[in-house]
Chain A
């Protein structure tokens, strides 16, 4: 395996309470999702709902990577998303990762949705992501590409979530909400930037170790 990058985390206090945690399932930007299936579902004895979703997305590989993986270019990306909905504690946790193209890059993401303990009118979302690549030589570039995409997806997924919420509540997002979101986006940018720096540092530290894994 390749080196893991520092997970990025942060509580963004910018969302009103979802009418149901189910809404969080819409956080995937729909444009690139081709298919969506439930492949496992059960309710545990302690009344938690476990689900596994299989998503197919279009492959958005960067140009330079296509040179290394011409055979992979045409293939869709398969993504699994496991989730636990706990209605008693009003939380939802998701874990999402790609199950093919794994040698090029694995992006794993964990999201925890919960009620803000200080103000139950808000939902907190904690997002963490790990990017790894086992490609010797180009893995650092791949990891940075993955992090950059994660950065831009933070904004996208937040917007999508907000839109769905607004639609369910039958109103447009209020001005305050948009402003708060902007603020949070700035913060997310800062942490992501810090992540890139940290990643560079880790990548060079791990450079000697990587050889063992290839």
Chain B
């Protein structure tokens, strides 16, 4: 799958590959080891966050797991 920043797709692919291996072989087995993908992630983020700003995609300041905790029918 492509990145929203055309220039970031290759960086994303490299990170995804690293993450998927770590996720399946380390994290899901409950092993605690240093994250081997940190550097790839930071490089990818520099690129994608810039693209998000350029495209004015409004992701800033949104609470994790959604804006609607304790949602009621007429909030």
A22 contacts B64, C-beta separation under 8 Å:
no
CB distance B74 to A99 under 8 Å? no
Partner of B48, one of A37, A84, A87: A37
Known: A4-B73, A39-B49, A206-B74. A82 touches B65 (CB 8 A): yes
A42-101 contacts to B, CB under 8 A, are: 43, 47, 49-50, 52, 54, 56, 78, 80, 82, 84, 87-88, 93, 95, 97, 99-100
Distance (whole angstroms) from the CB of B28 to the closest CB of chain A:
5
Determine the chain A residues whose CB is within 8 A of the CB of B14 once the complex forms: none
Main secondary structure of the interface of A (DSSP, over half): strand
Q: What is the interface of chain B, defined by CB distance below 8 A to chain A? A: 1-5, 8, 12, 15, 19-20, 23-24, 27-30, 32, 35, 41, 44-45, 48-49, 52, 57-59, 62, 64-68, 71-75
11 contacts between A and B (CB under 8 A): A4-B74, A20-B24, A22-B23, A22-B28, A37-B3, A49-B27, A95-B66, A97-B66, A97-B67, A99-B59, A108-B66
